[in-house]
Structure 1
Amino acid sequence: MTPEREGTREGSRERAPAGATAAPRSRPRLDQPRPPRRRVLPEWDPDAFGRFSERIARFLGTGRFLVWMTFVIIAWVVWNVSAPRDLRFDQYPFIFLTLMLSLQASYAAPLILLAQNRQDDRDRVNLEQDRKQNERSIADTEYLTREIAALRIGLGEVATRDWIRSELQDIVKELEERVDGRGRDGHRVFPAEPSGARDVDDR
């Protein structure tokens, strides 16, 4: 590198102000959460909105709603027919009433569908839980069946109380017959010895 170029580079370094150096880009830290983003659309709780829609759907399907709706429509029609012309806000053919009923129907249908979807989700979860419970019950029943079969097989090889009683009775009878000196066929088990021979031996 020539001395002229070195001089121009050193001069440019000297002319550059201290704060004009480009600062390195700050990288986001991984140990800190990201700052919340600004959203244009409003946020809402889906569960809270679903519960609200279910309450409205339950109210729409009651007789109280039908009674109140009938009362409001009758009062609306009577007022706009019999009231003074200056006080009527919806004259015949009651276009505003038709608009209100159309808005009510347009909002009621999605709310009812949303409530039905939530009910379907709950039913699906309940069915899944019932299916798992049935599988566990079937597995437990099969296990108990195998255990009972094993116990029956084991009990078949164990001496029962009646069998032991009958064996003991046979042994007692045999002992009694031996004490009497007779066998089961009526013959003496121990033949009687002559009295004279016994006396000789005793001497």
Structure 2
Amino acid sequence: MSGQPMILEVEPLANRFVRLEPFEAGLEAEVRAALDCDQDAWDIMVGAAYGEHFDGWWRSALAAMAEGSRIPYAVRRLSDGVVVGTTSLYEIKPAYRRCEIGSTFYRPEARGGPVNPATKRLLLEHAFNAGAVRVEIITDAINPGSQAAIRKLGARDEGVLRKHKITWKGRVRDTAQFAILDEDWPDVRGRLDARLAAF
């Protein structure tokens, strides 16, 4: 694989818990309904997608998908068929065989169960099968819960990027950065499979 670019196909991804569906016009209403809640959680995010903020966010996600820098997904919980959130592969850099997992939001009732680990399992497998050598996961340095969830995946803590982003409310944020490398993936995959087997 060395020297070959990473090629991430835009396609649905599924396991027994979730189906990740790339954004398209037919999903807009379901995604809007999934994200229109929990304003407090949105307040610390870089961008907001609830209420009146949704339309601009949706257009931006589709534009980034069209230019190849992002694949935004609706996260459909298979136990009831409901779209419970969104996630993305983004900052896609084929020449460097690198991308990020992020722009993730789940409805409160979908947090803490199999949805997030099942989603991360699919995204990581998709990236590494496509030739990635590095997948980054970043979060706000003031969000310990998110950082704990990322560490639980087996991602390596790489430190804090100071004054890295500005939230939609104007706060200059520090970013906690994590990464999983291709050589880490077998161990991370085993951890995720063990966690998911418990559900």
Q: Under a length normalisation based on structure 1, what TM-score does the superposition of the two structures give?
A: 0.17
Say which structure is richer in helix: 1
More relative contact order in 1 or in 2 (CA 8 Å, sep 6+)?
A: 2
